[in-house]
């Protein structure tokens, strides 16, 4: 059995343990240190400054909300089956979202002092999957389709 010397924590020799001490011990055992991804960031530099900045965080949340709204608009109003067949406004907005999310991911990645620590942050891992999917769909697949179709003559099927 684990026993503590309670004599130092008695309230004026009454034999009762000091309640303040008991509360502090209980709190120390129950309070966890809050996780903060910025503990893995560089202490200086542009990328860590951007990644930590509250305006950057609020802007990113706003872009996420706008992107959710845009997905709804795109689903209902875009006649194109793929990005290259979509009207220009749909292509421009999709590329703008992709650029912002790629920039946001890059700033956060560069902010990590040790790059492998990014794997400890599950939000960063999740965002990495989302951004890589968006880049693949918006830029890589479009590029592949354009390359494949450019060698196929004038009947590309995109117009």
Read off the pLDDT of residues 69-82 as tens digits, 9 standing for 90 and up.
999 999 999 999 99
Specify the pLDDT at position 32.
66
Asked if 96 and 66 touch (Cβ cutoff 8 Å), the reply is: no
* Helix-helix angle 54-77:88-111, to 10 degrees: 150
Q: For residue 158, is pLDDT > 60?
A: no
- As given in the structure block, the two tokens for residue 28 are 């120390």
Specify the pLDDT at position 20.
83
- What one-character-per-residue DSSP string does 110-150 give? HHBSSGGGGGG-HHHHHHHHHHHHHHIIIIIHHHHHHHHHH
Percentage, residues of the chain above pLDDT 70: 81
Asked if 53 and 116 touch (Cβ cutoff 8 Å), the reply is: no
Q: For residue 147, is pLDDT > 80?
A: yes
Asked if 126 and 119 touch (Cβ cutoff 8 Å), the reply is: no
């Amino acid at each position: 059995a684990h026993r503590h010397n309670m004599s130092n924590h008695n309230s004026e020799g009454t034999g009762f343990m000091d309640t303040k001490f008991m509360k502090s011990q209980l709190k120390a055992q129950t309070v966890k240190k809050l996780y903060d991804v910025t503990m893995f960031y560089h202490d200086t530099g542009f990328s860590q400054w951007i990644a930590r900045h509250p305006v950057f965080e609020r802007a990113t949340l706003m872009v996420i909300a706008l992107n959710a709204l845009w997905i709804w608009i795109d689903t209902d109003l875009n006649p194109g089956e793929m990005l290259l067949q979509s009207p220009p406004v749909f292509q421009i907005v999709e590329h703008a979202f992709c650029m912002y999310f790629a920039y946001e991911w890059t700033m956060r990645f560069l902010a990590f002092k040790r790059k492998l620590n990014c794997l400890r942050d599950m939000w960063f891992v999740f965002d990495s999957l989302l951004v890589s999917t968006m880049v693949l769909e918006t830029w890589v697949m479009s590029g592949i389709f354009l390359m494949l179709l450019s060698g196929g003559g004038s009947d590309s099927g995109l117009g």
